Amino acid sequence: MNKQITVTVNGTEHTLEVEPRLLLVHMIREVLNLTGTHIGCDTTSCGACTILLDGKSVKSCTILAVQADGKSIKTIEGVSAEGQLDSLQEGFHLNHGLHCGFCTPGMIMRATELLENNPNPTEEEIRWGISGNLCRCTGYNNIVKAIQYASAKNRGVETASTEPEFV
């Protein structure tokens, strides 16, 4: 039997009839057509499906849509207005923090909460902070740099050079 739920996604309220077993990630991707949230595994290991649920980063492949009833969801599509970049997106762009882009939305959603809880993290804190999100392309150096860039920009201090240290 389907169940009616109400969720607010990126500021818009939706009332949906869903199967109780429907995964939140499938609701986001296939019911609401917000395909920026990705699926990379079946064991809650990769973090490609990370979204914010009531402001907390969660892996949406391991939550049922019905568990999100009454809650607020933010996905990558809600991070900035179309055509504009927030400080994290800008940090990833300027520091080459993405290659194939598949893990990127999850990384950004995770990093969003990380910076909210810890506005000025050390490199080690960033590395542990994103250790639930796998990236197979970048080797993580530039993801760390991207998050440091956003941290500096959010705090209004000078951001480090975005030139590669490839000398």
Query: Residue holding tokens 């939550």?
Result: 63
Q: Is 46 in the site for other proteins (CB under 8 A)?
A: yes
Q: What is the DSSP letter of 139?
A: -
Strands (E), 41-127: 50-53, 56-59, 72-74
Shortest distance, position 81 Cβ to other proteins, whole Å:
9
Q: Is 34 in the site for other proteins (CB under 8 A)?
A: yes
C-alpha to C-alpha distance for 93 and 8, rounded to whole angstroms: 28
Q: Report how many residues bind other proteins under the rule CB under 8 A.
A: 66
Q: Is 48 in the site for other proteins (CB under 8 A)?
A: yes
C-alpha to C-alpha distance for 142 and 91, rounded to whole angstroms: 9
Shortest distance, position 134 Cβ to other proteins, whole Å:
5
C-alpha to C-alpha distance for 2 and 126, rounded to whole angstroms: 41
Among 3, 8, 19, 154, binds other proteins (CB under 8 A): 19
Q: Is 150 in the site for other proteins (CB under 8 A)?
A: no
Longest CA–CA separation in the chain, Å: 62
Q: Which is nearer to other proteins, 70 or 139 (CB)?
A: 139
The backbone torsions φ and ψ at residue 51, rounded to the nearest 5 degrees and listed phi first, read -135, 175
The number of beta carbons lying within 10 Å of the beta carbon of residue 102 is: 18
Among 16, 130, 148, 150, binds other proteins (CB under 8 A): 130
Q: Is 75 in the site for other proteins (CB under 8 A)?
A: yes
Q: Is 40 in the site for other proteins (CB under 8 A)?
A: yes
C-alpha to C-alpha distance for 2 and 65, rounded to whole angstroms: 11
Q: Is 99 in the site for other proteins (CB under 8 A)?
A: yes
Return residues touching other proteins (CB under 8 A). Answer: 19, 21-22, 26, 29-30, 33-43, 45-46, 48, 75-77, 79-80, 82-83, 85, 89, 92-94, 96, 98-105, 108, 123, 126-128, 130-144, 163-167
